[in-house]
Amino acid sequence: MLSFILKRVLYMVPTLIGMSLVSFFIIQLPPGDFLTSLISAIADSGQSLDSATVAALTAQYGLDQPFYVQYWKWISGILFRGDFGWSFDWGQPVSKLIWDRMGITLFVSTLSLILIWAVALPIGIYSAVKRYSIGDHIFTLLGFIGLAIPTFIMALVLMYVSYKFLGQSVGGLFSPEYQDAPWSWAKLWDLCLHLWIPIVVIATNSTAALIRVMRANLSDELNKPYVVTARAKGLSEFTLIMRYPVRIALNPFISTIGWVLPALISGVTITAIVLNLPMAGPLLLRALVSQDMYLAGAFILLMSVLTLVGMLISDILLAVLDPRIRLQ
């Protein structure tokens, strides 16, 4: 098992190098650069940037150098100093901006992932075992509705319900009276009252998709000969289903972690904007629009790392569930 994990980790190294090159190449694609955007923004405000400052910034970030020199300045700062560069749009280090946003983003995404699994797994099993029953049809209908409704529409509806019927303030993570207050049990409870809307909105779409995945996988397994044989030997239906077909049907289900983890973080931009949440998505969008290349590049690189981490977690869990995978 240890050799299997080490092999997967070693495979990640060249993949990360390739992803960092692609990330840096993508943020270089638009015409101009962040310095051009900065000069233009300063000019629009009626001010100007002196030529000495422009020359110093150009030399510092290698903007007059070939692509590989600029890339090395960027990636070496990250690897050796933890320096992701400087955000000219915000006037702050990129690392500070990222960690300020990633904490709450990872917290909300983790809670959403737990909710997704807690709902999708039992409903998917029920729908497969009770195919074409009334309950299956109801969950199928709700699943298609969850897939069809845009997340920002659901966010707006839940905000209205929360404000109109529950009497809660909506938007942001805290009510106005707790925004700048020191941490207390009351502030923690207020945070929980605000978190349920983004968690439900973020989880709904992925939950609906994974219910369909689990239902399809388990439906295929329930008709195989080994299930019929185990049933003929007198095993109880619950033990039979949970011990054999569910365990095998979980393989494709678990493999989705590779894309669910980064999708939860990067795919909720519109929801975060609607709910006024200080998450990573709106910050990444603003960085792309303003060509804040170091901030955008850092986010794209982090999304790539999260994808690889999700795939590594999937591989480890699959190897635990199915020993045949470790021998491949």
3-state DSSP assignment of residue 233: coil
Report residue 93: phi and psi, to 5°. -60, 140
- How many residues appear in the chain? 328
Supply the pLDDT for residue 217.
Answer: 85
- List, as one string, the DSSP characters of 217-246: HHHHHHTSHHHHHHHHTT--HHHHHHHTHH
Joined together, the tokens standing for residue 188 give 């923690």
Supply the pLDDT for residue 263.
Answer: 67
Burial readout 137-164 (b: 16 or more C-beta within 10 A, e: otherwise): eebbeebeebeeeebbebbeebbeebee
Q: What is the CATH class of 95-327? A: mainly alpha
- Other C-beta atoms closer than 10 Å to the C-beta of 60 total 10
**Closest C-alpha to 33, from 295, 291, 287, 300:** 291
Q: How many Å apart are CA 8 and CA 26, to the nearest integer?
A: 26
End-to-end CA distance of the chain: 12
Supply the pLDDT for residue 324.
Answer: 67
pLDDT higher than threshold 80 for residue 27: no
| Confidence category of residue 266, pLDDT binned at 50, 70, 90 | low
Lowest mean pLDDT among 71-75, 180-184, 193-197, 319-323: 319-323
* Cβ-based burial of 264 (10 A; exposed 0-12, middle 13-18, buried ≥19): buried
Q: How many Å apart are CA 71 and CA 226, to the nearest integer?
A: 55
Mean per-residue pLDDT over the chain, rounded: 79
**Closest C-alpha to 19, from 298, 312, 256, 280:** 298
- Other C-beta atoms closer than 10 Å to the C-beta of 250 total 20
* pLDDT tens track for 92-128: 888 888 887 777 777 887 888 888 888 888 998 898 8
Q: Of all residues in the chain, what percent carry a pLDDT higher than 90? A: 0
At what angle are helices 67-81 and 2-28 packed, to 10 degrees? 130
* pLDDT tens track for 200-237: 888 887 788 888 888 888 888 888 888 888 788 877 87
**Closest C-alpha to 89, from 282, 301, 303:** 282
Q: Calculate the dihedral angle through the C-alpha atoms of 47, 50, 53, 56, rounding to the nearest 10 degrees.
A: 140
Which residues, including other chains, have CB under 8 Å from residue 158's CB and lie 6 or more apart? 197, 200, 201
- Residue entry with tokens 């405000």: 45
Supply the pLDDT for residue 25.
Answer: 82
Q: Of all residues in the chain, what percent carry a pLDDT higher than 70? A: 86
pTM of the model: 0.75
pLDDT higher than threshold 70 for residue 44: no
The stretch 39-53 carries a mean pLDDT of 69
Domain map (residue ranges) of the chain: 95-327
Q: Are 195 and 277 in contact (CB under 8 A)?
A: no
